[in-house]
């Protein structure tokens, strides 16, 4: 990102300040890192490119940031962030190919991160935050909703990047639920969700054949003639509990 106003806007939307702990993924050359440091937060900047790490350290360490070389998909997050639940805010500009699995993995396995503000490709952001009735609503949307409240926090124009990308970007804010809003085994829940959306044109009685029977649909109060995209998290939770 080459626009200082944009990085300051992202830092502001992250809602962090003195006393807060922030971890940034994909810090690059440190433009967002510096903006986060300006808020007074304690910043840990993670960068996978070993060629960029020395430059990042030169830029960011004088402002008090800690620079860590590592792959966010393989880091020992517990060792890096410590055990306190919800103590950290994640801020990141995530590439398309890792954005969805990384967000889901962090929500599932890194309870130290209580809030996130991630910049992703617009279509990815819409899937992360979509609710029932939105064209982007799918299995990813339900999985995110099980662990966090997600919303689109803004758009980022392509003009602020060098080189300029061919895709639009969006900011997604996520706040982890202290407790999942539905009482369901996540393994069972996600199995049903994935099966349902894998055949989203089918009625659920076909898409979930072998997983939910007539009695299960009746107990959950879900029509077997409904389609996956019509069910909110609560309905999926009832099905998973049957």
- CA torsion sign, 102 to 103 to 105 to 109? positive
Q: Domain residue spans in the chain? A: 4-176, 186-241
Q: Provide mean pLDDT across the span 178-196.
A: 97
CATH C-level class of 4-176: alpha beta
Please work out, in degrees rounded to the nearest 5, the angle formed at the alpha carbon of residue 50 by the alpha carbons of 66 and 7. 55
CA atoms of 99 and 205, how far apart (whole Å)? 32
Cβ distance 119 to 156 under 8 Å?
A: yes
pLDDT score recorded for residue 168: 87
pLDDT tens digit string along 108-160?
Answer: 999 999 999 999 999 999 999 999 999 999 999 999 999 999 999 999 887 77
Q: Per-residue confidence at 167, pLDDT binned at 50, 70, 90?
A: confident
Average pLDDT over the chain, rounded to an integer: 95
The answer, yes or no, to whether residue 29 has pLDDT greater than 80, is: yes
The answer, yes or no, to whether residue 232 has pLDDT greater than 70, is: yes
The answer, yes or no, to whether residue 1 has pLDDT greater than 70, is: no
pLDDT score recorded for residue 2: 67
Please tell me the least confidently modeled range out of 86-95, 157-166, 187-196: 157-166
The answer, yes or no, to whether residue 205 has pLDDT greater than 90, is: yes
CATH C-level class of 186-241: mainly alpha
The answer, yes or no, to whether residue 42 has pLDDT greater than 70, is: yes
Helices 139-147 and 122-129 meet at what angle, rounded to 10? 60
pLDDT score recorded for residue 96: 83
Q: Provide mean pLDDT across the span 188-209.
A: 96
CA atoms of 240 and 65, how far apart (whole Å)? 44
CA atoms of 188 and 104, how far apart (whole Å)? 16
Neighbours of 224 (CB within 10 A): 18
CA atoms of 144 and 125, how far apart (whole Å)? 11
pLDDT tens digit string along 12-22?
Answer: 999 999 999 99
The answer, yes or no, to whether residue 164 has pLDDT greater than 80, is: no
Q: What is the percentage of the chain residues whose pLDDT exceeds 70?
A: 99
Q: What is the percentage of the chain residues whose pLDDT exceeds 90?
A: 90
Cβ distance 215 to 237 under 8 Å?
A: no
Q: Provide mean pLDDT across the span 200-221.
A: 96
Cβ distance 240 to 195 under 8 Å?
A: no
How is residue 229 written in tokens? 């995209």
**CA proximity to 231, closest of 160, 167, 149, 137:** 137
Q: Provide mean pLDDT across the span 37-60.
A: 97
pLDDT tens digit string along 68-100?
Answer: 999 999 999 999 999 999 999 999 999 888 999
User: What pTM was estimated for this model as a whole?
Assistant: 0.94
């Amino acid at each position: 990102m080459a626009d200082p106003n944009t990085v300051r806007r992202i830092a502001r939307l992250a809602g962090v300040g003195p006393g807060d702990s922030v971890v940034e993924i994909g810090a690059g050359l440190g433009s967002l890192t510096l903006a986060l440091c300006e808020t007074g937060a304690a910043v840990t900047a993670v960068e996978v490119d070993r060629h960029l790490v020395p430059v990042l350290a030169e830029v960011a360490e004088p402002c008090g940031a800690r620079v860590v070389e590592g792959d966010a998909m393989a880091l020992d997050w517990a060792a890096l962030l410590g055990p306190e639940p919800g103590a950290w805010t994640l801020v990141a500009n995530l590439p398309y190919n890792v954005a969805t699995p990384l967000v889901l993995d962090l929500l599932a396995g890194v309870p130290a991160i209580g809030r996130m503000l991630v910049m992703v490709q617009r279509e990815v952001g819409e899937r992360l935050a979509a609710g029932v009735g939105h064209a982007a609503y799918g299995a990813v949307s339900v999985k995110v909703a099980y662990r966090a409240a997600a919303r689109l926090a803004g758009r980022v124009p392509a003009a602020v990047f060098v080189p300029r990308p061919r895709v639009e970007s969006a900011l997604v804010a996520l706040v982890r639920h202290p407790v999942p809003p539905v009482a369901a085994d996540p393994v069972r829940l996600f199995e049903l969700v994935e099966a349902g959306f894998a055949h989203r044109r089918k009625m659920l009685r076909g898409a979930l054949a072998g997983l939910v029977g007539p009695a299960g649909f009746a107990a959950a109060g879900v029509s077997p003639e409904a389609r996956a995209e019509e069910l909110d998290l609560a309905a999926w939770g009832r099905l998973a509990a049957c």
